Amino acid sequence: MNKSVNKSVILLFTLLAGMSLTAAPSLAETGAKTYTVKKHHKPQTRKHYRKAAAKESSNLVVRSASALVLDQSTGTVLYEKNAGAVLPIASITKLMTAMVTLDEKPNLEEMLSIGEDDVDTLKGTHSRLSVGTQLTREEMLRLALMSSENRAASSLANHYPGGREAFIAAMNHKAQALGLQDTRFSDPTGLTAANVSSARDLVKMVAAAHQYPLIREFTTTTEYAVKIAGRQQAFHNTNSLVKSSAWDIGLSKTGFINEAGKCLVMQAWLNNKPTIIVLLDSLGKLTRIADANRIKRWVEHTALAHATTSNSNSPGRLRLPTAGAGVGVGVGVGVLALRPTAG
């Protein structure tokens, strides 16, 4: 009797165990997550950050033929590519045109006229400022800087004391005063390929131009309307980045002729530091803009890594012009890092 009961009990437990194994779903069937226990890693050391910085630096790809990125507050070169190459600079020229104009302390409300001498016969470029158009000197300056208006820039030179030749001589004299060894000017517009400079010179020119409040304002204005032949006409900034909320730009200038390619210079705040970017001879319509955005991301992403490395790892330093070094405005070094304000 007992043996029979024991056999029945054993049989019952065997059946129940089999049912349990058959009914129990697998982890894969239920979708339950599996976890892997990872070993604890020590925090990264300064050595690791140095390696990360070097890796980020090597990952920065700039398509422009010549480029330079400078920490404006220290003069430290953050990145350079063929920075010593002497190249045509196209309408980047107009920054010098503006400085020479303002150094004369002219009457900005004086009316200037577009003349036959202001018409581009070299490249045949179009302009909405027809011969006979009258604007104030300030409006001519604004359109030359914001919209890269060639006839406006030419008019500024032709209405300079001594005329166009005296103006061009003043441009070259100022370039020498600023220590621009690779820079030569033959006209006030940049339409000629004879206007040349290097990225290393242009960071100095941008730093000098940034000390002029009107140049800062006019080069970063997104659009402006003037009355021409009795009608209001809107002009727009040639640099689309000035409209971007992702950028804090203190100065901007674009340039293009076939010999120079697409060019762009900017003073902007990257990682809360004043930075100058120079991009020369970019191929393609958007290459210079893409390069600028790549540089911005690179500077911001590598800020922590660079903060842990010594300055000896940077390509070098450049001495920027200050008041008294060919800069015709009464400001000091502090203005070099002046963040733009509203208005």
pLDDT tens column, 58-68: 589 999 999 99
**Which CA distances in Å does 187 have to 122, 168, 236?**
11, 6, 23
> Strand pairing of 111-113 and 87-88?
unpaired
- Residues with Cβ within 8 Å of 279's Cβ and at least 6 positions away in sequence, in order, are 62, 64, 66, 67, 262, 263, 264, 265, 288, 291, 292
Annotated catalytic residue 38: no
Whole-number pLDDT of residue 221? 97
Angle at 86 between CA 237 and CA 274, to 5 degrees: 50
pTM of the model: 0.77
Note the pLDDT tens digit of each residue in 90-134.
Answer: 999 999 999 999 999 999 999 999 999 999 999 999 999 999 999
Give the pair of three-digit tokens for residue 230: 């009795």
Whole-number pLDDT of residue 294? 96
DSSP-assigned letter for residue 40: P
Note the pLDDT tens digit of each residue in 285-296.
Answer: 899 999 999 999
Annotated catalytic residue 91: yes
Whole-number pLDDT of residue 59? 80
Q: Of these residues, 127, 148, 154, 282, which one is catalytic?
A: 148
In this predicted structure, the answer to whether residue 232 has a pLDDT above a threshold of 90 is yes
Q: Of these residues, 64, 66, 81, 91, which one is catalytic?
A: 91
Q: Which CATH architecture has domain 46-337?
A: 3-Layer(aba) Sandwich (3.40)
Whole-number pLDDT of residue 127? 96
* Residue 111: strand pairing partners: 136
Output helix, strand, coil percentages for the chain, rounded to the nearest 5: 40, 20, 40
Note the pLDDT tens digit of each residue in 236-271.
Answer: 999 999 999 999 999 999 999 999 999 999 999 999
In this predicted structure, the answer to whether residue 186 has a pLDDT above a threshold of 90 is yes
pLDDT class for 319, splitting at 50, 70, 90?
confident
- Residues with Cβ within 8 Å of 172's Cβ and at least 6 positions away in sequence, in order, are 184, 185
Q: Which helix (H) or strand (E) holds 214?
A: helix 213-220
Annotated catalytic residue 148: yes
Rounded Cα gap, residues 30 and 234, in angstroms = 65
